[in-house]
Chain A
């Protein structure tokens, strides 16, 4: 009986449902809304799992092909897949870090001068997964993992947005929103790089909005579409590398028929389909939790500042978003090439979704002072960071079974790597 109950506790969907239930009760919703909200949250999490299953299947195929074709281990920096893998292995720990992170964020915003309330729920979950994995990799007991992980997460949510706030003020022209996307160190850096181009931007009076971008680039503003195209291209590269290196038999076996050249196309689309399902699920289970978080913070911490997801800054410089997307992708490819040149045992491959959202935001930050040059160079450098930084923690995570994908975002990796290094060092002392 107790065994069976503990088994249920490992069920992350139920934990998330419980959080939504508490949130809805705290908001004093009608009982019908409480029931439907809770049930929909649990279903949302299950949909997330179905989507992530579909995506990891495709990522698995891709890594096999890439490894065979190029003779190096290729890992995509797809945060959704990495988080899903982490949730499969350590669902309880990740979910509890996530929940405590929210609570600590509220407490820190209430009592310290760090006033941001981090409202991008899915990003909170990803960072929570990284922190849980770091502590688990260090062999911490569960209570330490959950408490310290939650505290660090809450601190990052409340404090990191203030780094980027001066740039947010310049971009939005007001001081009432903060950036809530864990590349804040990267965005601040991009903004600072943009300042280096401030003189030339003033001289030419060039804002990125004057640059005429080709129409086909605008297609890539559709997130699911650009993910599909990008995965197709990656699949063709890996498949052709296999064929050229004499592994046609493996390709045919994986494609399960002789017209192997259509298969990479379908795999790319399949990946995007999985992504759509996953996003649908995330939307359902994040919705209730975010609403509760907003409700609580507006009531009890009225001077807090909402930290919001990156598309919130896109309207302020739409062209810089696309310049940033291209810049981050180019940076990602350079990073990948560097890893191949220096014979890194694993090669991290940039992901389209990350390049769009994180690169696009880096572009907006770079553009704030530096015009289109600032947008391009800033996002290019951030793009390198997005594929190179995960190298540091990858070996620790791979040991835990999180090997097919990796967490790209800059703040997770810097925080995670620093914590990992400090605790490892302290462990050596005793």
Chain B
């Protein structure tokens, strides 16, 4: 089971919806991923496997986390699904 942090700058509205959508995709596809929700401060000392956020923020933090997924349209489940699959492929090739 991989651990993912879904977060945005303040950690209120937009990342919350993103988490809801990510959870829906995970459930529909039975991905081995567990999510939690937070803001930028939650990244301090974060030991999980994956960071999911809006595209601009994910780009900025790419070097500070193990793996970052940036979503451009936070309600687009197809985008979320293809990026999660990309991540799972990456992990299985490790």
Contact A316 B72 (CB under 8 A): yes
A291 at the interface (CB under 8 A from B): yes
Q: Which residues of A contact B16 (CB under 8 A)?
A: 119, 121, 283, 286-287, 290
Instruction: State whether B75 touches A177 (Cβ < 8 A).
Output: yes
B-side contacts of A223, CB under 8 Å: 9-10, 39-40
Residues of B within 8 A of A321 (CB): 56
For the residues of A in contact with B, the DSSP-based class is helix
B8 at the interface (CB under 8 A from A): yes
A293-318 vs B, CB cutoff 8 Å, 1 = contact: the mask equals 01000000000001011111011101
Given A279-B10, A290-B20, A318-B56, residue A308 in contact with residue B39 (CB < 8 A): no
Instruction: Report the nearest A residue to B72, measured CB to CB.
Output: A315
Interface string of B33-56 (1 = CB under 8 A from A): 000011111000000000000111
Measured CA separation A181–B14 after assembly (Å)? 11
User: B12 near A: Cβ within 8 Å?
Assistant: yes
Q: Which residues from chain A contact B41 at a C-beta distance below 8 Å?
A: 224, 276
Shortest Cβ distance from residue A317 to the other chain B in the assembled complex, whole angstroms: 9
Cα separation A122 to B15 with both chains bound (whole Å): 13
Residues in B62-84 with C-beta less than 8 Å from chain A: 70-76
Query: Would you call B32 an interface residue if the criterion is a C-beta within 8 Å of the partner chain's C-beta atoms?
Result: no
For residue A120, which residues in chain B have a CB less than 8 angstroms away from its CB?
12-13
B73 touching A311, Cβ below 8 Å: no
Docked-complex contact A309 and B13, CB < 8 angstroms = yes
Within the complex, which residue of B17, B55, B73, B76 is in contact with A309, where a contact is CB–CB below 8 Å? Answer: B17
Bound form: Cα–Cα A381–B76 in Å: 32
Judged by a CB distance under 8 angstroms, whether A67 is at the interface is no
Would you call A221 and B60 a contact (CB within 8 A)?
yes
Chain B residues in 8 Å Cβ range of A357? 10
Given contacts A122-B12, A123-B13, A221-B9, contact A291 B40 (CB under 8 A): no
Interchain nearest-CB distance for A81 vs B (Å): 15
Q: Select one of B12, B74, B76 contacting A279, CB under 8 A.
A: B12
A210 in the interface (beta carbon within 8 A): no
Q: Are A283 and B54 in contact (CB under 8 A)?
A: no
Given A309-B17, A311-B54, CB of A282 within 8 Å of CB of B73: no
A309 touches B12 (CB 8 A): yes
Asked whether any CB of chain B lies closer than 8 Å to the CB of A172, the reply is: yes
Query: 12 pairs across A/B with beta carbons < 8 Å?
Result: A120-B13, A177-B74, A223-B10, A286-B13, A287-B37, A294-B17, A306-B17, A308-B14, A309-B12, A312-B14, A314-B56, A315-B70
Listed in ascending order, the chain A residues whose CB lies under 8 Å from chain B are: 119-123, 172, 174, 176-177, 180-181, 218, 221-224, 276, 279, 282-283, 286-287, 290-291, 294, 306, 308-312, 314-316, 318, 321, 353, 357
